[in-house]
């Protein structure tokens, strides 16, 4: 698996909980934001797709928390993509910017639905291929 | 694995995203809230423990999204607990209240730390045992 | 102004920030949830209205923070309603349950829109009147 | 009143609610993030101050919602600062980046506390003055 996309982000204080670290649930926000930015990068838009009845739906999320992000941290969310039948698996890892340390190892499995039913993810395949990219299998 | 604790909750509209369903990250909030209520049930308190330098830290979260909660839904978060060495595994499943349908299957692995270092979870074992409970192994 | 509706809620740990208190923005979630529960009480539904093209839109929010809610606190959100032209003003105050202390004094002004344009709030007037209620003026 | 600081931000899809627009409460997150970035700009740090027992506490927030931010929008949060006794008033306005349109007009009043009691905001005055800035009065 190799990364094909990344974004840089920064911890915001309100994302931290009473332990003074980024709350566990917030990493899913980071991963979602990275996926949606990736979609834009391949010229797809999550909100627009939704308005056309097409939804990218997460069916599974697995997060391994290696170390905690704290206020002021900058970090990089990296993304690779693998295909299994109708499922797309996003490998999404979060690295501390300054130290390069792996903070969270994420794996998010999703399917496309149209009017709530799973469909073949052709639009994603096409969008990837236009950028010279492909999901590994 | 059997459930030893449960709470009832209700979807709040602000937890829903532009797809009109509860956002994926919010289920981690639900699971966390259930775990912390469980701690209170066995007479431990997450915030108080933190003030004593003891933190319950999530090292892994796995969520399978079976179906989406929508506005007005009531749901039950059920919790079972398994022990593996210093790790506690919370099996946390979310059921739609009215239909009884399984919505999310969750597995959250955590460790106790004192001053950021892992410790034996004796205080949890003792707290469970006072209530006549024990983690399965 | 008198209160015509109230709900009881409880602080969830993830709503607290690194100061160990409920984050300022979260009180707006509490107030919104109370307003939407109030709508249900008068047999209107925020999500359903939205699907019909009718949106309740907040045009102004004023919050005075008197004291901070902390983990484990239970609290009551009370609501009164005043009408000014097409505007509805929700007076929403948050009280600490155990002590009865006023924690937040809120005033949320909203209008109804249909397809993004302001409309007369007749459906709210009617819904109130069916319950024997009326907005003060 | 003039602006003395600004940051650029971008809407993230998870910040939008079922109306497809940024949820009202999220603007308080934006405003908070801007204030904390401003503090860093004048070489103060919210999280660090908290660890020293000094907290910047919001006592009042007033937000006028002029227009709604939607997915993909970029926006600028601008900040001016006025002083009234021990109170600092942050005038914080949010502008749509592309159109320059005013989206939200915000006014956030805060005080400094040490061990939960209000103190004179000398450290802020000094920090401002080191940067050649001053709060208007």
pLDDT exceeds cutoff 90 at C101: yes
Say yes or no: A14 contacts chain D, CB-CB below 8 A.
Answer: yes
- Pick the residue from chain C with its C-alpha nearest to A70: C18
Q: Distance between CA atoms of C83 and C85, rounded to whole angstroms?
A: 6
Q: Which two tokens stand for residue C84?
A: 């000014």
Min mean pLDDT across A107-111, C57-61, C103-107, D132-136 is at: D132-136
Judged by CB atoms closer than 8 Å, whether chains meet at D16 and B18 is answered as yes
Say yes or no: B70 contacts chain C, CB-CB below 8 A.
Answer: yes
Query: What pLDDT, on the 0 to 100 scale, is given for residue B78?
Result: 98
DSSP state of B136: B
| Residue B33 with chain C: CB contacts under 8 Å | 12-14
Number of Cβ within 10 Å of residue D126's Cβ equals: 12
Which residue from B17, B25, B71 is facing D16, i.e. has the nearest CB?
B17
Q: Distance between CA atoms of D28 and A23, rounded to whole angstroms?
A: 18
Mutation for testing the C interface, residue in D20, D21, D23, D24 having most C CBs under 10 Å: D24
Query: What pLDDT, on the 0 to 100 scale, is given for residue C28?
Result: 98
- Pick the residue from chain C with its C-alpha nearest to B70: C47
Judged by CB atoms closer than 8 Å, whether chains meet at D57 and C63 is answered as no
- Pick the residue from chain A with its C-alpha nearest to C70: A18
Each residue's pLDDT tens digit, A28-53:
999 999 999 999 999 999 988 998 89
Which residue from D18, D50, D61 is facing C18, i.e. has the nearest CB?
D50
Query: What pLDDT, on the 0 to 100 scale, is given for residue A115?
Result: 83
Say yes or no: A68 contacts chain C, CB-CB below 8 A.
Answer: no
Residues 6 or more apart whose CB falls under 8 angstroms from that of A34 comprise A5, A6, A7, A77, A79, A92
Query: What pLDDT, on the 0 to 100 scale, is given for residue A60?
Result: 98
As a whole number, mean pLDDT of residues D6-17 equals 98
CATH architecture classification, C5-130:
Roll (3.10)
Which residue from A12, A36, A40 is facing D33, i.e. has the nearest CB?
A12
Is the sign of the CA dihedral B9, B13, B18, B21 positive or negative?
A: positive
CA distance A67 to chain B (A): 9
| Residue C16 with chain A: CB contacts under 8 Å | 17-18
Say yes or no: C41 contacts chain B, CB-CB below 8 A.
Answer: no
Each residue's pLDDT tens digit, D62-96:
999 999 999 999 999 999 999 998 999 999 999 99
| Residue C20 with chain A: CB contacts under 8 Å | 18
pLDDT exceeds cutoff 80 at A137: no
CA distance A102 to chain D (A): 23
Query: What pLDDT, on the 0 to 100 scale, is given for residue C121?
Result: 84
Q: In chain A, what percentage of residues exceed pLDDT 70?
A: 99
Contact by Cβ (8 Å): C102, C109: no
Judged by CB atoms closer than 8 Å, whether chains meet at B45 and C14 is answered as no
pLDDT band at C136 (very low <50, low <70, confident <90, very high): confident
Each residue's pLDDT tens digit, D111-124:
999 988 888 888 88
| Residue B55 with chain A: CB contacts under 8 Å | 19
Say yes or no: B65 contacts chain A, CB-CB below 8 A.
Answer: yes
Q: In chain D, what percentage of residues exceed pLDDT 90?
A: 81
As a whole number, mean pLDDT of residues D11-30 equals 97
Say yes or no: B85 contacts chain D, CB-CB below 8 A.
Answer: no
User: Within a 13 Å sphere around the CA of A41, how many CA atoms are in the beta-carbon half?
Assistant: 15
Query: What pLDDT, on the 0 to 100 scale, is given for residue B91?
Result: 97
Which residue from C18, C25, C71 is facing A20, i.e. has the nearest CB?
C18
Say yes or no: C86 contacts chain D, CB-CB below 8 A.
Answer: no
| Residue B64 with chain A: CB contacts under 8 Å | 59-60
Query: What pLDDT, on the 0 to 100 scale, is given for residue D134?
Result: 86
| Residue D11 with chain B: CB contacts under 8 Å | none
Which residue from D14, D20, D23 is facing B25, i.e. has the nearest CB?
D14
A-C contacts at Cβ under 8 angstroms: 22
* Ranges of chain B whose pLDDT falls below 50: none
**Contacts with C, D 45-64, CB within 8 Å:** 47, 50, 55, 57-64
Say yes or no: C16 contacts chain A, CB-CB below 8 A.
Answer: yes
D11-36 burial by CB neighbour count: b if 16+ within 10 A, else e?
bbbbbbbbbbbbbbbbbbbbbbbbbb
Say yes or no: D18 contacts chain C, CB-CB below 8 A.
Answer: yes
Which residue from A13, A20, A40 is facing D36, i.e. has the nearest CB?
A13
Q: Distance between CA atoms of C101 and C107, rounded to whole angstroms?
A: 18
Query: What pLDDT, on the 0 to 100 scale, is given for residue A116?
Result: 81
- Pick the residue from chain A with its C-alpha nearest to D46: A13
Judged by CB atoms closer than 8 Å, whether chains meet at A20 and C25 is answered as no
Each residue's pLDDT tens digit, A73-128:
999 999 999 999 899 999 999 999 999 999 999 999 999 999 888 888 888 889 99
- Pick the residue from chain A with its C-alpha nearest to C26: A14
pLDDT band at A134 (very low <50, low <70, confident <90, very high): confident
Q: Distance between CA atoms of A114 and D65, rounded to whole angstroms?
A: 34
Q: Distance between CA atoms of B89 and B93, rounded to whole angstroms?
A: 13
Q: Distance between CA atoms of D118 and D62, rounded to whole angstroms?
A: 21
Q: Distance between CA atoms of D42 and D16, rounded to whole angstroms?
A: 31
What residue spans define the domains of chain B? 5-130
Each residue's pLDDT tens digit, C6-49:
999 999 999 999 999 999 999 999 999 999 999 999 999 998 89
């Amino acid at each position: 698996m190799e990364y094909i996309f990344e974004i840089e982000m920064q911890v915001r204080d309100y994302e931290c909980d009473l332990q003074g670290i980024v709350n566990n649930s917030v990493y899913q926000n980071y991963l979602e934001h990275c996926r949606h930015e990736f979609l834009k990068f391949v010229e797809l838009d999550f909100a627009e797709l939704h308005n056309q009845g097409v939804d990218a739906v997460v069916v599974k999320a697995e997060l391994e928390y290696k170390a905690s992000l704290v206020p002021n941290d900058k970090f990089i969310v990296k993304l690779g993509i693998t295909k299994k039948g109708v499922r797309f698996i996003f490998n999404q890892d979060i690295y501390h910017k300054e130290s390069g340390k792996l903070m969270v190892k994420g794996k998010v499995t999703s399917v496309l639905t149209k009017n709530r039913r799973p469909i073949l993810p052709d639009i994603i395949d096409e969008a990837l291929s236009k950028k010279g990219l492909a999901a590994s299998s």
